[in-house]
Structure 1
Amino acid sequence: MAKVLVVDDDAHIRELVRLYLEDEGFEIIEKSNGEDALHYAENHIVDLVILDIMMPIMDGWALCENLRNFGEMPILMITAKGESTDRIKGFKLGTDDYLVKPFDPVELVLRVKALLKRYRISTANEIQLGTITLDRKRYQVIYNNGQGATLPMKEFELLYKLGSYPGQLFTRENLIVQIWGLDYEGDDRTVDVHIKRLRERFIDFESEFRIITIRGLGYRLEVHQD
Structure 2
Amino acid sequence: MERAAAVDAGTLLDVPRSVLVVEDDARIRRMVQLTLRREGFDVAEASSGEEALLHLAGRAFDVVLLDLRLPGLDGFQVCREIRRTSTTPVIMVTARSDSDDVVAGLEAGADDYVTKPFVPKELLARVRAITRRARDGDEHPVLTVGDLEISPLAASVTRAGSPLDLTKTEFRLLVELAADRGRALSREELLQRVWGYDYFGDSRLVDVHIRRLRKKVELDPANPVVVTTVRGMGYRVPA
TM-score calculated relative to the size of structure 2: 0.51
User: Sequence identity, in percent?
Assistant: 39
For 1:149-164, list aligned pairs within 5 A.
none
Q: In the alignment, is the contact (CA less than 8 A) between 2:94 and 2:101 conserved in 1?
A: no
* Counterpart among 7, 15, 20 of residue 35 in structure 2: 20
Give the one of 116, 132, 140 matched to 2:131. Answer: 116
1:49 and 2:64 matched: yes
SS state at 2:60 partner: coil
Task: Give the alignment partner of residue 91 of structure 1, picking from 106, 120, 142.
Answer: 106
* Deviation beyond 2 Å, 4+ runs, structure 1: 81-84, 164-172
For structure 1, the residue ranges without an aligned partner over 5 or more in a row are 123-163, 175-226
Cα offset, 1:77, TM superposition: 0.9
- 1:18 is paired with a residue whose SS is helix
Instruction: Report the Cα distance in structure 2 between the residues aligned to 1:48 and 1:61, rounded to whole angstroms.
Output: 16
Kept in 2: contact 1:75–1:97 (CA 8 A): yes
Measure, in 2, the Cα distance between the counterparts of 1:8 and 1:55.
7
Deviations 1:121-166 (A, max 9, x none): 69xxxxxxxxxxxxxxxxxxxxxxxxxxxxxxxxxxxxxxxxx962
Task: Pick the aligned partner of 2:120 from 93, 105, 114.
Answer: 105
Distance in 1, Cα, partners of 2:89 & 2:155:
19
Distance 1:65 1:92 in 2: 9
The answer to whether the Cα contact below 8 Å between 1:48 and 1:116 also exists between their aligned partners in 2 is yes
Report how many residues are paired.
132
By how many angstroms is 1:42 displaced?
A: 1.7
Cα distance in 2 between the residues matched to 1:99 and 1:61: 15
Instruction: Note the C-alpha offset of 1:72.
Output: 1.1
Select 1:168's aligned residue among 156, 165, 168. 156
Q: Distance in 1 between matches of 2:31 and 2:111?
A: 21
* TM-score, length basis structure 1: 0.54
- State the Cα distance separating 1:82 from its structure 2 match: 3.1
CA-atom RMSD, angstroms?
2.4
Letter of the structure 2 residue corresponding to residue 85 of structure 1: D
Question: Larger RCO: Structure 1 or Structure 2 (Cα < 8 Å, ≥ 6 residues apart)?
Answer: 1
Query: Counterpart of 2:135 in 1: which secondary structure?
Result: coil
Moved more, 59-68 or 80-89: 80-89
